[in-house]
Copies of this chain bind each other. A is one copy, B any other.
């Protein structure tokens, strides 16, 4: 009826006690008698009272808000990350303030400033590189900043990332073992730091082994780009292996190889991906790929979030290879 929420004042009046009593009833560990507590709870229930967390956050310096910034929220890998992260936050009594950086692909600084305005306790960046000035500001304001799969050249920020170069190494070694003679590295035009690390580590390892490597990168990081890559790269009949820095690229590449370019996988061409998204395990693909353990990645993020004094600034999550059926 009356628009707006009920306040502690009104509950106090109805229960016939002071407003402090109401506040204490809803504050764990505060000193209230059973009798008063009951009266307050009764009145609160009748009026539909809810503590105002925003007002709480005013004097308690803990807002309980955690900012999450990311792009490509519908991509399988990111969305799974967000799924796990939001579950973990909720379990810890923290709220997830989600900012989609799709519009601000290049500069996520305005988004982070927005989170400042909401007094976010901490900020998790799933994609996009924050400028150095923002990092300084986070530190100055006591806001913890956690960068996922992003490596900044400073030691005063939390970073959680997968062991990209080791993963690329595993892929390279496997393709060498498959006796590939000429291979492709497929990435996208966005050239994420993680993508670059994977591509360069792979290329380096292959070249030291004396295997010729051709690099391809164009378009957004998705299935279509991988498909296009496959169509273009496989015109060269000598190509007998490919490392795609992302599973989505790999799946597109696979379809191009089999359906458009009439190659048999793994007999003619071997393909390895990276991430192990659910679709990689689907029966039509059975992609051999590098596994990032999303649960440990997320656990590390959450740990970095709640620990008081961050002992380890840089956490590298180990990766492994899961062998399915796309490598000879």
Closest residue of chain B to A56, judged by CB? B117
Interface string of A115-127 (1 = CB under 8 A from B): 0111100000000
> Is B95 touching A51 in the complex (CB atoms < 8 A)?
no
CB within 8 A of A140: which of B48, B52, B87, B256?
Answer: B48
Contact B86 A50, beta carbon cutoff 8 Å: no
Residues of B within 8 A of A100 (CB): 83, 86-87, 90, 96
Q: Is A194 an interface residue (CB 8 A)?
A: no
For A58, give its contact among B1, B54, B76 (CB under 8 Å): B54
Copies of this protein in the complex:
2
Q: Which residues A244-274 have CB closer than 8 A to chain B?
A: 251-252, 254-256, 258-260
Whether the pair A73, B82 counts as a contact (CB closer than 8 A) is yes
Q: Is A307 an interface residue (CB 8 A)?
A: no
Nearest-CB distance from A27 to chain B (Å)?
A: 14
Interface string of A1-34 (1 = CB under 8 A from B): 1011100000000000000000000000000000
Chain A, 57-104, CB within 8 A of any chain B CB: 57-58, 61, 63, 68, 72-74, 76, 79-80, 82-83, 86-87, 90-91, 95-100, 102-103
**How far, in angstroms, from A50 to B140 measured CA to CA in the complex?**
13
The verdict on A216 contacting chain B, using a C-beta distance below 8 Å, is: no
- Given contacts A76-B76, A82-B73, A98-B86, are A255 and B278 in contact (CB under 8 A)? no
Residue of B nearest to A141 (CB): B5
**Known A5-B119, A87-B100; contact A54-B57, beta-carbon cutoff 8 A:** yes
Task: Judge whether B279 and A255 touch: CB under 8 Å.
Answer: no
* Selected interface stretch from A155-163, A176-184, A281-289: A281-289
**Which of A87, A98, A103 has the largest count of B CB atoms less than 10 A from its CB?**
A98
Q: Which residues of B contact A54 (CB under 8 A)?
A: 54, 57-58, 63, 118-119
**In the assembled complex, how far is the CB of residue A57 from the closest CB belonging to chain B, in whole angstroms?**
5
Q: A246: shortest Cβ distance to chain B, in Å?
A: 14
Given contacts A5-B116, A79-B79, A98-B96, contact A73 B86 (CB under 8 A): yes
Contacts of A103 in B (CB 8 A): 87, 90-91
CA distance A68 to B252 in the complex (A): 32
Q: A76 near B73 (CB under 8 angstroms)?
A: no
Given A74-B82, A100-B86, A113-B50, CB of A61 within 8 Å of CB of B4: yes
Min CB gap A125→B, angstroms: 15
Q: Tell me, yes or no, whether A106 is within 8 Å of chain B by CB.
A: no
* Any B CB within 8 A of the CB of A53: yes
Q: Which residues of B contact A95 (CB under 8 A)?
A: 97, 99, 114, 118
Given contact pairs A48-B140, A54-B63, a sample of 8 additional A-B residue pairs in the complex whose CB atoms are under 8 Å apart: A50-B113, A55-B58, A83-B100, A86-B100, A87-B102, A95-B118, A98-B98, A284-B284
